Homo-oligomer: A and B are copies of this chain.
Amino acid sequence: MNNTAFTLKGNIIYSKGPKELVCIPNGYLVCEEGKVAGVYETLPEKYRQLPCTDHQDRIIIPGLVDLHTHAPQYAIRSLGMDMELLKWLEYNTFPEEAKYSDPEYATKAYSMFVNDLRKSATTRACIFGTIHVNGTEILMDLLERTGLKCKVGKVNMNRNCPEVLCEDSEQSLRDTKLWLESARIKYNNITPIITPRFLPSCTEDLLTELSVICRQEDLPVQSHLSENLLEIEFVKELFPSTEGYADAYNEYGLFGGSVPTIMAHCIYLTEDEIKLAKQNQVFIAHCPDSNMNLSSGIAPVRTYLNQELKMGLGSDVAAGDSLSIFKMMTEAVKVSKLLWRLQDQNLTPLSIDEAFYLGTKGGGEFFGKVGSFEEGYEFDAVVIDDASLEHPQPLTLKQRLERVIYLSDDRNLVSKYVEGIKII
**A residues in contact (CB < 8 Å) with B:** 75-82, 96, 99, 105, 108-109, 112, 292-298, 321-322, 330, 333-335, 337-343, 349, 351-352, 390-393, 395, 399, 402-403, 405-407, 409
- In-complex Cβ contact of A338 among B321, B338, B340, B352 (8 A): B338
Residue of B nearest to A343 (CB): B342
Establish whether residues B393 and A75, one from each chain, have CB atoms under 8 Å apart when the complex forms. Answer: yes
- Given A292-B337, A402-B79, decide whether A297 and B392 contact each other with a Cβ distance below 8 A: no
Q: Give chain A's interface secondary structure class.
A: helix
A-B contact pairs, 19 of them (CB 8 A): A75-B393, A78-B402, A78-B403, A79-B395, A79-B403, A80-B402, A81-B352, A81-B406, A82-B351, A82-B352, A105-B392, A112-B392, A292-B335, A293-B334, A293-B337, A295-B337, A321-B406, A322-B407, A409-B409
- In-complex Cβ contact of A295 among B75, B340, B390, B391 (8 A): B340
Establish whether residues B391 and A112, one from each chain, have CB atoms under 8 Å apart when the complex forms. Answer: yes
- In-complex Cβ contact of A321 among B330, B393, B409 (8 A): B330
Q: How many copies does the complex hold?
A: 2
Known A-B contacts: A81-B402, A112-B390. Give 16 more (CB < 8 A). A75-B391, A76-B393, A78-B406, A82-B349, A82-B351, A96-B393, A105-B392, A292-B337, A293-B337, A295-B349, A298-B342, A321-B330, A322-B407, A338-B342, A339-B342, A342-B343
**A409 — which chain B residues lie within 8 A by C-beta?**
409
**A333 — which chain B residues lie within 8 A by C-beta?**
81
